[in-house]
Amino acid sequence: LHMALVGIRDLSIIETPPPERLSIRTVVAPFEEKVVREAVERELARAGQVFFVHNRVQGMESIVRTLVEWLPQVCLGVAHGQMPERELARVMERFHSRELQMLVCTTIIEAGLDIPTANTILIHDAHKLGLAEMHQIRGRVGRSGHQAYAYLLLPGQGSASLTQEALQRLQSLQEFSELGAGFRIATRDLEIRGAGTLLGPSQSGHIEAVGFELYTQLMQRAVASLRGEQPPVQIEPELQLPIQARIPEDYVSDPHQRLALYRRVSRCEGDEELRILREELEDRYGALPQETDNLIHVMGLRNLLRVLGIRRLALQDGKLRVTFDPTTPVSPQRIVELIQSRRGAGMALLGEDTVELPLDAGLLDRPLAVAARDRLKQLFLDASMAA
């Protein structure tokens, strides 16, 4: 998915569900007798069948004893990957032929099963499973025109004991329960787990030490090298500003269009291109939401940072910290002169290449990216042009 999002691979999305399919109602609940009994009895009352997923073979016997105690009238079977092949096949045949009302199993069922009469699934210790895995398992029910239910069962203390990532996974599965939600779930999983290390075997984790922009830069250099070209050296500024800059789903709903727009924004190299893009967005989708307006302003700021040779811009304690690249066209003499002339105004040199400067009071009523851009243009742009 990550390779598709950055344009290395093609991406296709199947958005049309089979006829008469309904979205699966997803519930997060504690693992308690009342919850389990109500879910199972409701399904059996409409002559359906139930999956109960417990993904630890070691604890399977204990879970089965508990379920038998809670539901003595239910005919259940057990299926997991450590069973002899013939025994496992026999259990699955009995469930498929409806001799069994309930199947207690591991995630062995997550692929290849199509049992239209099974329309309730209970996933025990759901917080221990991955988001994509839970989505795949949830897809074992709802394979007919009947309303299906998925219960994500947690320990008695509920969500209070969960890690932040586990809580995000469960919330995502509840939020994205409509038909065709696979792409949105995969994207959220990418956001939660990360795309993996840049150079290495890990398939999860965020690229914190390298950065996505450097990744893109390396890809461009590699492509240029294969073509026998000498790639131009270009500064890729790092921005650390508290700004929400994105294209919301409720503004541009189609994921392909959003991805294409992100690519267009990233390729705009001047104010005129950004102005044209802004007008196109307003004409096609209506007035820009604040996050998208911020995105346009942030790209304009980034373009200015490249011109000025600034490799890092951060906001700290209400002041801008500007770190210059060695290749900056702004002369050291100009920087020293500015600091000496504005020392009383809070401008200071931090190290050899970093300048701290306050935002003028007259700029504070503007969006942060605009205020920062105007401040940098005011101080350094004329100097870089002269150089």
Residue 8 lies in a domain: no
Check whether residue 367 and residue 290 sit in a common domain: yes
User: Tokens 């500064």 sit at which residue?
Assistant: 235
Per-residue pLDDT of the chain (387 residues; tens, 9 = 90+): 555 554 556 666 666 667 777 888 989 899 999 999 999 999 999 999 999 999 889 889 999 999 999 999 999 999 998 999 999 999 999 999 999 999 999 998 887 788 999 999 999 998 888 877 888 888 889 888 889 999 999 987 655 667 777 887 887 777 766 666 666 666 666 655 555 554 444 444 544 444 455 565 666 677 677 777 766 667 888 888 888 888 998 999 887 788 788 888 888 888 999 999 999 999 999 999 999 999 999 999 999 999 999 999 998 888 899 999 988 888 888 888 888 877 666 788 888 889 888 876 555 567 888 888 888 888 887 654 444
Residue 305 lies in a domain: yes
Residue 207 lies in a domain: no
Check whether residue 149 and residue 280 sit in a common domain: no
Check whether residue 129 and residue 268 sit in a common domain: no
pLDDT for the residue numbered 256: 75
Instruction: Confirm if 296 and 265 have CB atoms less than 8 A apart.
Output: yes
CATH of the domain at 45: 3.40.50.300
Check whether residue 169 and residue 245 sit in a common domain: no
Q: Which residues contact 53 (CB under 8 A, 6 or more apart)?
A: 105, 106, 107, 109, 121, 122, 123, 124, 137
Among 234, 241, 368, 378, smallest CA distance to 307 is for 234
Backbone angle region of 144, left / alpha / beta, with phi > 0 → left and psi within -120 to 50 → alpha = beta
| Last residue in a domain, options 164, 192, 220 | 192
Residue 172 lies in a domain: yes
pTM recorded for the entire structure: 0.50
Residue 106 lies in a domain: yes
Instruction: Confirm if 91 and 58 have CB atoms less than 8 A apart.
Output: no
Q: Return the number of other C-beta atoms located less than 10 Å from residue 112's C-beta.
A: 7
Residue 226 lies in a domain: no
Check whether residue 33 and residue 106 sit in a common domain: yes
Check whether residue 116 and residue 245 sit in a common domain: no
pLDDT for the residue numbered 242: 86
Q: Which domain holds residue 180?
A: 25-192
CATH of the domain at 335: 3.90.1150.50
DSSP three-state, residue 309: coil
